[in-house]
Chain A
Amino acid sequence: MFLLLMTTKYVIAQTSFSSGILPRVRISTKVSEKLKWVNGLETRQLFIDDTREETLKYEYVLTDISSLLSLKIGAYGAINGGYLLRFEGDYIFHRAIQQFTLVQNYDRIRLGHRFVTDQTFGRSESPEFRLRYRIALERPLSGNKVDPKELYFKISNEYLMKFQNSETTFETRILPFIGYEINKKNKVELGLDYRLDNLLSSGQENDLWLSINWYYTL
């Protein structure tokens, strides 16, 4: 965390920085033994943005509504496909999503791998195509596995490759979270979502979100 803050501070000095809150809700329901339906709602609200005249100011940014079907493959894998609608200002963006996920169980930890391709279309911008890979590690803070009413720690690292207007850019994300398993169907997570965009080019963008996730299984 110290390293993250130091890096952020160093980078902030040269590039842009914004920060806000990012609440997310994921509701999943089992359609059949192998198929589940996952719906999501996410909003972004800014409090700090040093590219604005008024750096400190509340601003509602966007809302995402997503819906994915997830087909289980084997004991650990799943193929997911779906659609996301983004409401940003006066515009609506459409995003098609294809994912492959793999969750590995070890003695005390669970490792989740997520491979994603998505295509975003909107009237105000050229189509954007992305390749993403995320690794997430989860471990209980007590005992050998997470049981209801127990806390856990989760850290994710994601790499994104973006293609838009014949340009390729890279982004990385680090997401440390503390989670609480309310019961077998409910868990909440609170943590940071740090995003470093334009990683290998000039004019890097830093976003630091306070993220609150709620996962509910129907």
Chain B
Amino acid sequence: MLKLRKDFQRFVSPKAMLCHGIFKPHNEILIHKLGLSIVKLMYNKLIPMQLKIKRYTIASLLHIKTIILICNLLSIITMTAQTKFEKEHRTKAEHVPVGATAFIRQAFPDKKVKWYAEESQDGRTYEAKTCYSKIKHSIEFDPAGRLIDVERKVHFTSLKKHTQNHITSALDSLFEKYKIIKTQIQWKGNPEDLLQSIKKQEKNKLSYQRYELVLKAKKDNAFKMYEMLLDSIGTVEKFLEIKQRPTDNLEF
């Protein structure tokens, strides 16, 4: 009985949800208090009920999965976006950490690469931009020259059908209307695996893949621009509002 309670607690508690990838501990995601209180309420209500079950049955597991899915949906519905902060400027290769330039030389030996120094809510980074296999690539490094991620600009419709469906379901829950402006596939992993992925233009089994979207969307009766990071089952890992620069000089 105690084991079952512990298992359930491990599986359904908010901490467990972080482990299962349902709520990501990303500082960009703000889960509304209401969403959390509903999760807590369901958890408290369900524990005694689960205690009555002597054994871990398939039915109880399905029940738990349904709860998790509902919680996932609630977390999406009650999600609010933080404002994106990003400042970047062109920089020369000689001002970039050696590790970063070495990786780029290996990955794109004959390609012209533009370097940018960036400051955002994630800290200071360096970004290399180039075009390889007719696809725009952005490769981000930390100040020590360690690889952070590789992003490839693609068309949303080129993603696998089931991924498209999961992502659009998540977006449908969040927004009244939306239009995807930009889609990037993001790869993370160790540099060797990512080097292979770049060469083959295919995700290595050991690296993981996320989808970064820039979209124009209507939420709370107002159209805004957003940047989002989702996984292939539509879990939102990053949700930022892109503040538009004043457009007065183009309008008046």
Interface residues of A (CB under 8 A from B): 26, 28, 33-34, 38, 40, 68, 70, 72, 74-76, 78, 80, 99, 101, 103, 105, 110-112, 114, 136, 138, 142-148, 150, 154, 179, 181, 184-185, 187, 189, 213, 215, 217
Contact = CB atoms under 8 A, between A and B. Distances in A.
B222 A68 contact: no
A184 to B, nearest CB: 7
Nearest to B215: A75
B90 interface: yes
Task: Determine the main DSSP class of B at the interface with A.
Answer: strand
Contact of A213 (B116, B247, B249): B249
Given A75-B223, A75-B224, A143 B88 contact: yes
B245 to A, nearest CB: 7
Q: Quick one: which of A78, A112, A189 has the most chain B CB within 10 A?
A: A112
Contacts, number: 78
A143 B245 contact: no
Interface residues of B, number: 20
A40 B216 contact: no
25 contacts: A26-B248, A26-B252, A28-B248, A28-B252, A70-B251, A72-B223, A74-B216, A75-B225, A76-B216, A78-B251, A99-B251, A105-B225, A112-B247, A112-B251, A114-B251, A144-B88, A144-B116, A145-B88, A147-B88, A150-B89, A179-B249, A181-B245, A184-B245, A187-B246, A189-B249
B87 interface: yes
Contacts of A147: 87-89
A38 to B, nearest CB: 6
B250 interface: yes
Contacts of B246: 28, 184-185, 187, 215, 217
Interface in B157-184: 181
Contacts of B250: 101, 103, 110-112, 114, 136, 138, 154
Contacts of B252: 26, 28, 38, 40, 68, 80
B247 A142 contact: no
Contact of B248 (A72, A75, A217): A217
Interface in B50-72: none
A143 B116 contact: yes
Contacts of B249: 26, 136, 138, 154, 179, 187, 189, 213, 215
Nearest to A154: B249
